[in-house]
Chains A and B, each alone.
Chain A
Amino acid sequence: MSAYQNLEQMKGDFYTQKFEAGKQDGTLIINMGPQHPSTHGVLRIVIEVDGEYIVRAEPVLGYLHRMHEKMGETQTWGGFIPNMGRVDYGHAMAWNWAYVGAVEKLMGIEVPERAEYLRVIMTEFNRLTSHLLWWGAYILDLGAFTPIMYAFDDREMILDILQRPSASRLTYSNFRVGGLQMDFDDKCIELMKTFIPHFRARLPMYHDLVTENIILRRRVEDIGVIDQDMCRRYGCTGPVLRGAGVPYDVRKDEPYSIYDRFDFEIPTQDTCCSMGRYKVRLAEMEQSMRIIEQALEQLPSAEGGHIVDKAPKPAMKPPAGEAYFNVEGGRGKIGVYVVSDGGKVPYRIKLRAPGFSNLSAFAEAATGTLLADAVAILGSLDLIIPEIDR
């Protein structure tokens, strides 16, 4: 008899024990995470394996839960903006935008044209950093170390550009109700204009280096099928949905701001697999660059400043009512629903995180695949755990 058998903790916690209740004969239950490197920190998945094959899987969330929705109910409307940068460190500006957009809707504020352009440019640059971070980390998860170096090289240049008008490099919170905290300076616009041709020349190298690599293709092609029907049942959006062949993008289908002024495409793939989602994201980077180019061109003729005159103070009091506003983030549809009772503090803030719905489809997609494929599927969903746990 082993000395460990009497230890209470060997039984596992509540979730393991509950999961174990449905165990079949001859299978093994393992915990992947919350410290597993490919789960990016704090996602835990309880998996039942039969040999190398996954019989059942159940994500266990909450290891990075910070209750942003409660924080929203305890501070002023303006004071909640920095929280948005912390909800999703990958595409912080889209979250900023979703929140201030909802409050602007509630208060009936019209943002100056120039501010709209600045928002579009910054959010699209931030989308590039989000996809680059995902690209590098995904290939790293699959065992190739070099690509993340290339990705971070380019990402670093964007961060240098974005820190000029936002004063931060990761957890941006430079959006304000009515506009932005700062305008671009000339140097910033110059850097942006030189970055686009540079990055456009780099993208083919990404494809040469990784996309056509036979090892990658064997790992991701036909792995983790999430089709249209699954997307609808689970509420998946973003590249997961577009990887299933549905050209749904909030920027086109529920146009907000000035996105209807730009000529860009919605890349889709019909394969529904991890490779499809991979290709969609890479194609989106090119589209983001197209939007940035057009926006930079039109920026000098835009009217107004970077923020509306007499912009509301942080302790603003929006009129009683409700407003739902959504934007297209790097991971999908970001929705913010705000309710005001007319006071200084929000009555209710609901954050709809795209990663939350995307991850809920994982258990079904992973059933029947190899354990090694679980890593390929998880990575292809582009998970940012703070956004899922909120």
Chain B
Amino acid sequence: MLQALEGVATQCVAKQDPAVTGHVWSVFLAPGQIVKAARKLCEAEYSLEDIFAMDFEEGFLVQYHFNRWTINERIVLRVLVSKDNPVVPSITSVFDGAEWHERETRDFHGVVFEGNPNLVPLLLAVEDKDLCPLCKTDKARKSIKDVLALGEVVSCSAEVEALFAEAEAEEASDA
């Protein structure tokens, strides 16, 4: 079990095979829990690797990679936000380095990080700030279940299970 995140209300915790995905744990969170989760990981001596978003039919999937210097145990925190209101609380109060990663994500996908002290364009020019260069066209956009796999589920809410539900049903029918 993932002890570092004890006390954080997770939506889904799944174990993944690091030889296949590079992640040991995959955790879905509600946006409101991300700061608490980051603080817990900071206390457990994790460091932040990167923050980025992906464009899916269900919304923007914001991902945070964490790892430790001592034992390799990469955790990916996933926060799904709607496209109408893509807002995630900023974790800069815990990890200062998150500021730039969040600004980059804001540049590329338009996800707003509430509480980031300096949320201005980082890599894009100021006049291009609403360009959203990594947003997919309707044709190219895929559903989460067609691309990602959940892994070996430890605990999961119905909400996240529903995201992957159809894919699992298809697999079952194949078998």
Contact = CB atoms under 8 A, between A and B. Distances in A.
Given A323-B20, A352-B65, A360-B99, A333 B49 contact: yes
A129 B47 CA distance: 29
B149 interface: yes
A386 B146 CA distance: 33
Interface string A195-238: 00000000000000000000000000000000000011111100
A35 to B, nearest CB: 17
Contacts of B146: 320, 341-342
Name the residue among B19, B72, B74, B96 with the largest chain A CB count within 10 angstroms: B96
Interface stretch (B4-12, B79-87, B121-129): B121-129
- Report which residue of A233, A253, A323, A364 has the largest number of chain B beta carbons within 10 angstroms of its beta carbon: A233
Nearest to B26: A322
Given A62-B125, A321-B148, A231 B133 contact: no
Contacts of A233: 95-97
B148 A232 contact: no
Given A339-B54, A360-B99, A324 B23 contact: yes
A348 B19 CA distance: 20
Contacts of B123: 61-62, 65, 389-390
A259 interface: no
A65 B134 CA distance: 14
B150 to A, nearest CB: 11
B157 to A, nearest CB: 21
A134 interface: no
Given A234-B97, A352-B50, A320 B20 contact: no
Contact of B134 (A73, A241, A325): A73
B48 A235 contact: yes
A360 B133 CA distance: 23
B134 A62 contact: no
B21 interface: yes
A248 interface: yes
Contacts of B147: 320-322, 339-341, 347
A62 B54 contact: no
Given A232-B45, A324-B74, A340-B147, A14 B96 contact: no
Interface in B44-62: 45, 47-50, 52, 54-55
Interface in A255-306: none
B65 to A, nearest CB: 7
A211 B76 CA distance: 42
A103 to B, nearest CB: 12
Contacts of A369: none
Contacts of A69: 108, 134
Contacts of B122: 61-62
Given A232-B47, A254-B72, A322-B147, A357 B97 contact: yes
Interface centre among A233, A235, A236, A325 (most CB of B within 10 A): A235
A260 to B, nearest CB: 13
Contacts of A254: 67, 72
B21 A322 contact: yes
B21 A234 contact: no
A356 interface: yes
Given A254-B67, A360-B100, 19 more contacts: A61-B122, A65-B124, A73-B134, A105-B19, A232-B45, A235-B50, A235-B95, A253-B69, A254-B72, A321-B21, A322-B23, A322-B147, A324-B21, A335-B65, A341-B146, A341-B147, A347-B147, A348-B54, A352-B65
9 contacts: A61-B122, A235-B97, A323-B21, A323-B22, A335-B50, A341-B142, A352-B49, A352-B50, A361-B96
Nearest 10 pairs between A and B by C-beta? A324-B22, A234-B97, A235-B97, A248-B69, A254-B72, A352-B50, A62-B123, A65-B123, A14-B126, A233-B96
Interface of B: 19-23, 42, 45, 47-50, 52, 54-55, 65, 67, 69-70, 72, 74, 76, 95-97, 99-100, 108, 118, 120-126, 133-134, 142, 146-149
